[in-house]
Amino acid sequence: MKINSRKIALISCSGEDLPEGTVSRVATRRILEQRDDTVTICLPLFLAGGQGERDFAKENPCITVDGCQKMCAAVGVKKYGGVTPRSTIVISEVAETLKCPKPTSKSKITSDDEKLVQNVMKIIDEKIRTVKEGKD
């Protein structure tokens, strides 16, 4: 089934205690600013908000962008939305697969991290295309 009307929800972990969380947040935000077929929600709102926030994951096909293997965004979508994300991305895995240097700064995107951010953005774009074409 092709998805045309609903927007794709990009949910980033934005993990504060890991440089990968910063990469996740920046890459996700840049895509949100580039594409008008995407929406987001602050992940902690799943717990802090009401049913409306919890239904967000049900109402939009989700792609989660997580910094580490704990996969808080993917787990949060399942736990509060009761649905499985259409697609998941884990920054630490992307860095390893693409042999990008592990990010080292939590507070900023360094020039080394920028390559990883660019690669994650390409992957998010590809995942959006796949989800919209119903190939997920």
Binding residues vs other proteins (CB under 8 A):
12-18, 21, 25-26, 28-30, 32-33, 40-49, 67, 70, 72-73, 75-76, 79, 106-107
Residue 134, Ramachandran bin (φ over 0: left; ψ between -120 and 50: alpha; else beta):
left
- Of 25 and 127, which has the nearer Cβ to other proteins? 25
C-alpha 65, offset from chain centre: 2
Please report how close the Cβ of residue 72 comes to other proteins at its closest, in angstroms.
3
Considering only the C-alpha atoms of the chain, give the largest distance between any 2 of them, rounded to a whole number of Å: 41
Phi, psi (degrees; rounded to nearest 5) at 8? -85, 130
In the sheet with 62-66, reading across from the earlier edge strand, the strands are 38-39, 8-12, 62-66, 87-90
CB of 67 to other proteins, least distance (A): 8
Shortest Å, Cβ 126 to other proteins: 21
State in angstroms the smallest separation of the CB of 119 from other proteins: 18
Complex with other proteins: residue 120 or 134, whichever CB lies closer: 120
